[in-house]
Amino acid sequence: MRVTLGTAEHATALCPGGLIGAAPPPSQSPSQAALAAAPRIQKATLPAGQKVTVSKKGKLSVSLFCLPGSSRCVGTLRVMTRGPRPKSLGSARFAIAPKRTGHATIFLSRTGRRLFARAKGKLGVKLVAETTPGGASRRSTLSTTLRRRGG
């Protein structure tokens, strides 16, 4: 035995109500359907005013804040040089719960340590936090100065 509930698009003249005689709902394009099905992309922000210091071995820790939402902020934090052709000086992955502050620990690459030493312990950089769960990525950037730890 098969039963069909006579409401909405299944309504008939025998069963009044529903959407009989109404215009059909607009159909979604494939790109709109993909956006509706994709998980909400969270964004991690870099709090302004934080002091980023570098140890003798090239280790630094950066604070990130995950905005309120339904999922965790998962992504990559990169340290880049400033200028027209930025170079990557190091990167680290992070995963932070919503409405929480977390930290990412980065070890400078050989190039990063060399540039930092050449700048005498005071190097201007751009920090780029990129979250990429699913589709398009969301970025947060912060220009700051790396300083030698302890003085």
Going by pLDDT thresholds of 50, 70 and 90, the confidence category of residue 42 is confident
- Looking at the chain, the domain(s) classified CATH 2.60.40.2550 span 44-148
Per-residue model confidence (pLDDT) at position 72 = 87
Going by pLDDT thresholds of 50, 70 and 90, the confidence category of residue 45 is very high
| Residue 22 clears pLDDT 90, i.e. is over it | no
Q: What is the pTM of this model?
A: 0.70
Going by pLDDT thresholds of 50, 70 and 90, the confidence category of residue 79 is very high
Per-residue model confidence (pLDDT) at position 150 = 78
| Residue 135 clears pLDDT 80, i.e. is over it | no
DSSP structure string for 3-40 = ----SGGG-BTTB--TTTTSPPPPPPPHHHHHHHHSPP
Protein fold of 44-148:
Immunoglobulin-like (2.60.40)
Residue with tokens 């990559």: 76
